[in-house]
Every structure is written in C-alpha cells, then in structure tokens.
Amino acid sequence: MRHDVLTAAAVVVAFLAGGCSGKSETEIFWLCDKAAGQSLSLFPDADSTLVESLGLVDEVPSSMSAFLIQKDGKWLLFDTGLGLPDGGIRGGLDSLGLSPADIDYLFITHFHGDHIGGMLDASGAPVYTEAQVYASQAEYDAWMAMPAGANAQAVRTMEAYRDCLHLFAFGDTLPYGVEAIDAVGHTPGHTAFQVDDILIWGDVIHGLALQLDHREICAAYDMDSQTSIATRKRMVQYARDHRLLVAGMHLPSGFLDFRTPAE
Ligand SMILES: [Zn+2]
C-alpha cells in the first residue's frame, strides 16, 4: 500500500511493507532532502553510445534522501541528508508532526557528508538529541584513520555523538530487528539495512537509469570501484531473489519495488 503526503516543505511517500508476506507490517517514509540529478561527468565509465540510447543529457535523475521507519511505536531514521537550511529532511519530519528529538534510533549507511551532514546543527551540537546511533565498525575505523582534512566532518560528528554511538559488525541484528548487511565498496564500511522486506541500500546506485542494467558502471564517489561493482551486482540480485522493497538514498523516487516478480 502506498500513500503520498504532500506538504509545502516536502513530499513524504509512505509504503506499508510486509503485510502480504505474513510478516508484521512496517511503514517506511521517504524523506527527500533534495531532488537533484547527478552529472553524467560523475560516471566516466558510461560510454556515449549508451548515454545517448537512454536519452540522457547532462544528468541522470537522482535524489539525496533519507528514510524513516516506524516500528513498535519507535522512530528509526536512516541517514540525515546534507543538513542544509533548505533541505527537505526537517520539512519531512515536520509534515509527520515529528521533531528531531522524536527520533529514537539513527542508522548511518556511511560517513559521506550527504548522509551525516544533518547530524549536527550550525553550532556543532547534535540535532538528534535522543537517538541511539548505529554505524559499522569498519566505516568508523576507516574514516578515523584517514588524513586530517579528509575526515574532519566525520571525526567532529562521531565525537559529538560518542556517548550514544554503537559500532556494529556486518551480520549483526540491531534493535527492532534491523539487520546490518555488508555493502562495502562505495566506502570501506558502507552498510545496507534490512527491516522485514525493506532493504535500505544507501549508495549502491547513484544513477538508476544508467546503473540498474549496467552495474559495472561506477560513480566517481565509489571509493573502491571493483568492490562497488561486485556489491552492486550482489545487492540487486539479493533484492530480486528475496522480493524486497528497496529504499535508496540516491534513487530518483526513493524506492525500487522488487516485491512483485518480473513477468
Ligand atoms: Zn551519497
């Protein structure tokens, strides 16, 4: 089931997942931080014949997004967007009658600025003051070991949340049945999260129109291209095999629905 909540500030799209599979129903909301295309220059592996055949000019439709799940009366937020004053995350929360202090759990796919940027306010204080924060040990260790300057935002942000930061290993089951799945490649500890039949896969795909059928194409943001390609192939297959609803932080309309098998 899908319903759209339209507000002046944001478009929130909600899906109820799991209802037909015998699992408990889980409601997921798409919080679109920014509807923005990704420049074709970010996909140097995409040859011009393919780009032309897809009718793409200059950009691939995309977004910057976060997702919110309500589970057993708790609010679970996945990533926080860029944190810019005109971003859509706060408007999305507002339209649901929520404030950042209502978020109980915050799950972070990786430490790029369009995912952790909303965690601190302009003064450097935590925005999600009541949240327990979950990130992968692999992501944390890799960013803390980067040269100063490359990791300043990640260091500052994780330090601000140190008293409520929980570092997990891939395969761990986190609160409310959230499963942490290895999606490494885009970053060293990039994580996908599964909740019932919803797969929140972070940055597995940046340009859907290019990469869903050509998973060998990387975005320039992918830190390890060979591992990114293998992960992209594995995650798409996994979502198809298990008939999952995919929520992606750079999907142009938030979701990819594999719950109905292809004809
Ligand atoms: Zn991203």
Tens of pLDDT, residues 203-236: 999 999 999 999 999 999 999 999 999 999 999 9
What letter would DSSP give residue 167?
Answer: E
Alpha-carbon gap, residue 136 to 123, rounded angstroms: 26
Q: Ligand 1 mean position to 23 CA, how many Å?
A: 30
CB burial of residue 65 (10 Å; 0-12, 13-18, 19+): buried
* pLDDT bucket at 175, cuts 50 / 70 / 90: very high
Distances (CA, A) of 28 to 14, 134, 148, 199, 201: 5, 18, 37, 11, 14
Q: Ligand 1 mean position to 263 CA, how many Å?
A: 32
Please report, for the chain, how many H helices and E strands are present, in that order.
Answer: 7, 15
Cross-strand bridge partners of residue 252: none
DSSP reduced 3-state for 68: strand
Asked if residues 257 and 240 have their Cβ atoms less than 8 Å apart, the reply is no
CATH match for 2-257 among 1.20.1250.20, 3.60.15.10, 3.30.70.250, 3.30.360.10: 3.60.15.10
Alpha-carbon gap, residue 92 to 100, rounded angstroms: 11
Q: Ligand 1 mean position to 79 CA, how many Å?
A: 10
Backbone phi, psi, residue 163, to 5°: -75, -10
Q: By C-alpha distance, which of 54, 53, 109 is closest to 78?
A: 109
Q: Ligand 1 mean position to 102 CA, how many Å?
A: 24
Q: Ligand 1 mean position to 206 CA, how many Å?
A: 8
Q: Ligand 1 mean position to 82 CA, how many Å?
A: 9
The model carries a pTM of: 0.92
Q: Ligand 1 mean position to 101 CA, how many Å?
A: 24
Tens of pLDDT, residues 2-53: 555 443 334 456 665 544 444 557 889 999 999 989 999 999 999 999 999 9
Q: By C-alpha distance, which of 214, 238, 218 is closest to 228?
A: 218
Q: By C-alpha distance, which of 84, 131, 74, 85 is closest to 108?
A: 131
Q: Ligand 1 mean position to 17 CA, how many Å?
A: 24
Sign of CA dihedral 223, 224, 227, 228: positive
- pLDDT over 80 at 99, yes or no: yes
Q: Ligand 1 mean position to 103 CA, how many Å?
A: 21
What letter would DSSP give residue 261?
Answer: P
Domain ranges of the chain: 2-257
